[in-house]
Amino acid sequence: MGITEFLVQYIVAFIAGTGYASVFFLMALESMVAPVPSEAVMPFAGWLVAQGQFTFAGVVFFSTLGSIVGSLISYYVGYFGGRPLVDRFGKYLLLDHHHLELTEKYFNKKGDITIFICRFIPIVRHLISIPAGMGKMNIWKFSIYTIIGAGLWNSFLTFVGIKLKSNWNEVLKYSSVIDIVVLIVLVLICIYAGCKFYKAHQKNKMA
């Protein structure tokens, strides 16, 4: 069994075993600053839709519910804590201050609609809720833009998972290439996480 097949088998088994709760929880994390990309969660949920274990509506509902809950938590972190709280605790969550500053500038430049647009942009969507809270954006507008944007994005990724399951035999023809890509990505993630933890540890020692 190749890496790709192994990951698919066990991630799908995990999500299937924990049900919609795992979809909700993982997407809540994804909408905060935790490094849990929706691209690594939703297609597997779509896979289970194709198998008849989940429903499309159920997956979209619980994933979007998780997205709004996670986003609201980040919003209120920014609202009540602001930059001092992020500066103090962000390093423990692998929060990249450079990305946060860019996100904040983008939010200030583009305005409220940024909340909707950024649901489709990797990395930025993990952080956008914090500057929205810091900027005291209207909570109802924030919630509506988040629900619409997250709902569309989650629906798309779920659909991708359904199509992936339907064409799995075709995918397996290129499994060796995919395995190499997956291995490289995993190594890069480990290196990135290691560097972030090391930098955070060094800053802690100097503080």
> In degrees rounded to 5, what are phi and psi of residue 37?
-70, 140
For the segment 95-106, the average pLDDT, to the nearest whole number, is 63
Per-residue pLDDT at 171 exceeds 70 = no
Mean pLDDT of 119-147: 82
Q: Compute how many other C-beta atoms are within 10 angstroms of the C-beta atom of residue 207.
A: 6
Euclidean distance between CA atoms 22 and 41, whole angstroms:
9
Which letter does DSSP use for residue 53 in this model?
A: S
pLDDT value of residue 1 = 47
Average pLDDT, the chain: 76
Asked whether residue 184 carries a pLDDT value surpassing 90, the answer given is no
pLDDT of residue 58: 95
What is the pLDDT averaged over residues 144-156? 92
User: What residues have CB less than 8 Å from 173, skipping those under 6 apart?
Assistant: none
pLDDT at residue 76 greater than cutoff 50: yes
Residues 56 and 161: their CA atoms lie apart, in Å, by 11
d(CA 69, CA 138): 16
Tell me how far apart the alpha carbons of residues 155 and 172 are, in angstroms, rounded to a whole number: 24
Look up residue 61 and give its two tokens.
């509902």
**pLDDT for the residue numbered 183:** 61
- pTM for this predicted structure: 0.71
On the question of pLDDT at 140 being above 80, the answer is yes
